[in-house]
Structures are given as C-alpha cells and as structure tokens.
Amino acid sequence: MGRRMDLKVGFKCNNNCIFCAQAHKRKFGDRTTEELKESLKKGIEDGYDEVVFTGGEPTVRGDIVELVKYASDLGYELIQIQTNGRMLSYMSFAKKLVEAGATEFSPSIHGHTWKIHDSQTRCVGSFQQTLQAIKNLVKLGVPVLTNSVVTKFNYKYLPELVEMLISLKVDQFQLAYVHPVGNAWKYFDLVVPKMTDAAPYIVKALDIAKENGYGPGRAMVEAFPPCMMKGYEKFCSEFYMPRHNRVVDLDQEIPDFEKWRKESGKKKFPQCLKCKYNSICEGPWKEYPERFGSDEFKPIIR
C-alpha cells in the first residue's frame, strides 16, 4: 500500500447536503491553482505516491483537469477523485479526467431512489446525475468506489441501496456512518440515527453483498465499531484504511490522519479495554456519545 495524501481543494459545492461535515467551512471558498500545485509537488518530495482530490466538490473547479494532469505528470501512481458525481454525468467531462490521469473515482450516493437521495443533497435532480455518473465511469472501465452516508433518511433502505450498487457493477462500496459535525451537528436530531437502530439494516445489506461476491474489503462500513457488527467485524473499514495518510486542508495540515482520528476525532470507552478488537477499533466519532452516551457499545470478549 502506498503513501496517500488527501488534498482538500476547497469547500465550494453544487450540493447542499443536510449531513455535510464541511458545511461550516464553506465560507473559506477554494484554494488557488498554484497553492494546490505546490501541495502536490511537496507531496511527491515527501514520498507520497497517491493523491485524493476532495473538498467540497473538486469537479466544479475550472482547473480540475489541469490539476489532475499536473499530479499525473509529477508521478502520482494513484489519483482518486472524491465527488458527488453530478458533473461526471457528462461523459465528455468524465473522459477528460480519465485522459488527464485520474485512476479511480469515489462518487457519493445516499439512497436508491431520487426521493431519498435528493432530500439529503437538497438539490432536485442530483440523484439522476449521480446515477448517470456511476454508469459513465463503469463504462469507461475505471475503478468506482462509492460512498454512502448512513443517516435517519436512508438507514432502513440500505439493503435496497446495496442491491442497486451491485446492479451498477461498482467495484467497491462503503456505508459511512454520518459524522455529526457541520450540518450533521446542526441538524443532529433530524439526521443522526442510533447505531443500534441502524445495525440490523446494515447487516442485511452486507448479507446481500456477500451473496453477490462483495466480501470484506469490497463492502465496508466506516465509523461503525466492530462491537456493532458482531459476526461482520471484518467489514469494518479500520481493517482496510490507508496507514500513511496525510490530510492537507485549507486551514490546517494533518500529517497522520489515523493518529488524529484515534486521538482527536473518535472516542473509546472504559469497556473497550475488554474487547478483542480494541487494538484496531477507533470507536465512533466523538460527537456521537456526546449526545447518545456509550451504553450501546458492548465489548466482544475473546
């Protein structure tokens, strides 16, 4: 596994997701082309060979093709675009990014119907565009790694969502438990479900995945501790996340994102010490127990 840098290009976006963890940063706008090129160059100099363009929404930038080409010319072996996918519904644009050097795409889709998806993005028509984007990328033959945020809006329909993703022939999918910051904190009661409520639907979705050849690593749950996934622990993303991951944000740089998650972003509890997965589990996002407490988290004893 290579050394990966997550590069925040800024915070402008053509969606307005009710769960957006970056919503409070929109006022910062976007970084300049030259600033991003300098970060890309520094990444290579520091030994990074993978870069993820993230935001905000990278594809709304007028220079995104130029930036991808620059990263490719510098020698990045993996170039991923994290995106809501809407701009990639235009095949000509998707082709330009692939031709410039993008090697994989991570489009976000948050429901199996337009009503569930669009009610969360708060942009009418976004579901159809994201769906078309996934179809375009699969047709182009590039790896497609989807991300779906688990919320009160969609958790009961995760099995149907997974069935749709499998039918679309995505390479990998992740069900990411909502991070209660930004809009998700502002609308916490509307957005954030209890993990014990969501778990049965996640398990059913993973059963469908297994039946269709999507085992651990191809199907994942993120920010959902193993104790919530008894019998399905190997689907937890902690087993597969990059270990050498730098995050370059607009207002800060996190040299070791794994360390930041464990020390600052997530929360563990006294009972975790008894759990067989304590050494690998990072716990839930810290904001979750601030509202719901920690009684849900029962250690898995050896």
pLDDT of residue 243: 64
Q: What is the pLDDT of residue 251?
A: 64
Summarised one tens digit per residue, pLDDT across range 52-97 is 999 999 999 999 999 999 999 999 999 999 999 999 999 999 999 9
Percent of the chain clearing pLDDT 70 (strictly above) = 98
pLDDT score for 246: 80
Residue 32: pLDDT band by 50, 70, 90 thresholds? very high
> Residue 59 forms beta bridges with which residues?
none
Say which DSSP state 265 is in. Answer: I
**Among candidate residues 133, 132, 127, 129, the one with its CA nearest the CA of residue 115:** 127
For all residues of the chain together, what is the average pLDDT?
A: 94
Strand 78-83, strand 104-107: pairing: parallel
What's the rounded Cα separation, in Å, for the pair 202 and 150? Answer: 9
- Provide mean pLDDT across the span 271-297: 95
Q: What is the pLDDT of residue 260?
A: 73
Residue 210 pLDDT > 80 = yes
Q: What global pTM score does this model have?
A: 0.95
pLDDT (tens digit per residue) in 198-208: 999 999 999 99
The residue assigned the tokens 């644009």 is 93
Residue 244 confidence class, pLDDT cut points 50, 70, 90: low
Q: Is the bond leading into 75 cis (omega within 30 degrees of zero)?
A: no
Q: Which fold has domain 4-265?
A: TIM Barrel (3.20.20)
Looking at residues 226-251, what average pLDDT do you find? Answer: 85
